[in-house]
């Protein structure tokens, strides 16, 4: 699949629950002392779509969204 999914994290909404970190620890992280989760990677391959969609659904603060990044 040539398309990548872009991960958007709204840090104004994020309350650092960490659910996304437990689902995709190579995409999301909670550094010590940070008030919010941070993105380790801003895009994921299509084969990680299911996990990313799960992280979006599971986020209590609804701070994660997905975009589509075309590879040309």
What the block records as the tokens of 8 is 């958007």
pLDDT at 71: 53
pLDDT at 12 over 70: yes
Per-residue CA distances from 40 to 63, 68, 72 (Å): 15, 18, 24
Domain count along the chain: 1
Q: Give residue-wise pLDDT tens across range 36-61.
A: 999 999 999 989 999 999 999 999 99
pTM score, two decimals? 0.86
Listed as own residue / partner, the contacts of 12-16 with beta carbons closer than 8 Å and 24 or more positions apart are 13/61, 13/62, 13/63, 14/61, 14/63, 15/60, 15/61, 15/63
First to last CA, the chain: 12
pLDDT at 68: 75
> What is the CATH number for 50?
3.30.70.20
Domain that includes residue 40, residue range: 4-69
């Amino acid at each position: 699949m040539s398309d990548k999914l872009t991960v958007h994290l709204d840090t104004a909404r994020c309350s650092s629950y960490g659910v996304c970190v437990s689902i995709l620890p190579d995409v999301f992280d909670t550094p010590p002392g940070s008030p919010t989760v941070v993105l380790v990677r801003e895009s994921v391959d299509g084969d990680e779509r299911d996990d990313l969609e799960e992280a979006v659904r599971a986020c209590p603060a609804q701070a994660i969204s997905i975009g589509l990044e075309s590879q040309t």
